[in-house]
Structure 1
Amino acid sequence: MSFYSFAKAVVYGVFKPIYRMEVIGKENMPKEGGVLLCTNHIHNFDPPIVGIVAPRPVHFMAKEELFSVPILGRLVPHLNAFPVKRGMSDREALRKGLKVLKDGHVLGLFPEGTRSKTGELGKGLAGAGFFALRTDAAVVPCAIIGPYKAFSRLKVVFGHPIDMSSLRNNKASAEETTEVIMNEIRKLIEAHKK
């Protein structure tokens, strides 16, 4: 068993009794090939929650500061995470993300760049559009619908892959493409809100 699989089982064991997780649309995740998984961001626990319920291992960009935290900093790279500098264009992180997708893996992104203080969906940054346009990866929207309250239901909804062909053919901008992705996340939230 890989460390990732072991950690996934441990984290699942921790979260399962606390949150009544309902996972919808797992079958929408392509079984192979690169996948850009774009999710809203409402809580610090979003990455582990998405990681344990996704049907395939997910690689996440994680803020650089996490890698210097004692103990956690040593574990994070084994959980398929790689560092990104916030508030600036981090070319190394962009290259790494492109490689994850081109190698046929799943790259998990929170297009808002930071968690929402209100729980409402914020504006997406251009990074999601950049990855969607620069690769042939399937783009799967995902919605986490809280609240994160003990013993209450937490939904994770995987949407159908977004048809990127017209955006790619028409040379859409990264910003326009991110907006399309955010709209799909918004639709999932609206459709599955309690």
Structure 2
Amino acid sequence: MFYRFARFLLKIVFKIRYKLVVHGNTKLPETPLIICANHINLWDPILLAIIFERPIRFMAKKELFDNKFLGFLLNKFGAFPVDRDNVNIKTIKDAIKLVKNNEVLGIFPEGTRVKTVSEENMKTGVAMIASRAGADVIPVFINSNYKFRSKVEVFVRDKIAISSFDDVSKDIRNKAITRAIYENIYKVN
């Protein structure tokens, strides 16, 4: 209930502040799913939450939960903390369980906001989670400077079927999935 109400209010705020243009299909299948997007601004998770109908559970850096009010809001939105310097097995298991329970996981696979696009910035954790949970991945590219009344352009890419990597040997599977996510997020539009 809170998620839907807050999403409604944030959609209004977003429409006042920005000119939103979305390319691609925003209707998500009712299957285990991971949304992977580039991360350029603090508005990115809010943007993804308002363009997709299904609630998205985001991994968020643990420092955001240090602020009591922000931590409360993040918890209400279903976000959960991750220590980016020391990702532990419990965090990965929690993410896998969440996805196996047919929830949508939101991850910024570079682990933080980035200014320079490089495949080396990509973390393989999302590939591990997708592979172990049997979840497909929806890559998303966000393009904006987020200045007042500027255009915010979102490109929702075609789903990456995790099953298409079943024949890839285990020792290189995560890298292959990570590369596919990177290439799909940043492909020329």
2:176 aligned partner: 176
2:63 aligned partner: 65
Q: State how 1:10-25 maps to structure 2 within 5 Å.
A: 10-25=9-24
Deviations 1:55-95 (A, max 9, x none): 21100001111112031111211101011011122222211
Residues 26 and 52, structure 2, Cα contact 8 Å, conserved in 1: no
Question: Given residue 141 of structure 2, which amino acid in structure 1 is its aligned partner?
Answer: A
SS at match of 1:173: helix
1:142 aligned partner: 140
Q: State how 1:101-120 maps to structure 2 within 5 Å.
A: 101-118=99-116, 120=117
Residues 82 and 91, structure 2, Cα contact 8 Å, conserved in 1: yes
Q: Which of 60, 74, 77 is equivalent to 2:72?
A: 74
- Which deviates more from structure 2 when the two are superposed, residues 75-84 or residues 90-99? 90-99
Question: Given residue 20 of structure 1, which amino acid in structure 2 is its aligned partner?
Answer: K
Question: Given residue 28 of structure 2, which amino acid in structure 1 is its aligned partner?
Answer: M
Question: Given residue 13 of structure 2, which amino acid in structure 1 is its aligned partner?
Answer: V
Give 1:168 deviation, angstroms.
Answer: 2.5
* TM-score calculated relative to the size of structure 1: 0.89
Residues 26 and 51, structure 2, Cα contact 8 Å, conserved in 1: no
Ranges in structure 2 where 5+ consecutive residues have no aligned partner: none
Question: Given residue 93 of structure 1, which amino acid in structure 2 is its aligned partner?
Answer: T
Residues 35 and 107, structure 2, Cα contact 8 Å, conserved in 1: yes
Residues 16 and 149, structure 2, Cα contact 8 Å, conserved in 1: yes
* TM-score calculated relative to the size of structure 2: 0.91
- Which deviates more from structure 2 when the two are superposed, residues 50-59 or residues 172-181? 172-181
Residues 67 and 73, structure 1, Cα contact 8 Å, conserved in 2: yes
Task: Give the share of equivalent positions with the same residue, in percent.
Answer: 37
Give 1:124 deviation, angstroms.
Answer: 0.9
CA distance 1:49–1:121, change in 2 (3 Å): farther
Deviations 1:9-32 (A, max 9, x none): 1111211111101122234632x0
Residues 38 and 142, structure 2, Cα contact 8 Å, conserved in 1: yes
CA distance 1:121–1:14, change in 2 (3 Å): farther
SS at match of 2:80: strand
2:28 aligned partner: 29
In the alignment, structure 1 residue 6 sits paired with structure 2 residue 15: no
Ranges in structure 1 where 5+ consecutive residues have no aligned partner: none
Distance 2:137 2:160 in 1: 6
Deviations 1:104-124 (A, max 9, x none): 111011000010134x35521
1:100 aligned partner: 98
Distance 2:9 2:52 in 1: 15
Deviations 1:164-190 (A, max 9, x none): 334233234322311111111111xx2
2:165 aligned partner: 167
Q: Which of 131, 134, 149 is equivalent to 1:133?
A: 131
SS at match of 1:71: helix
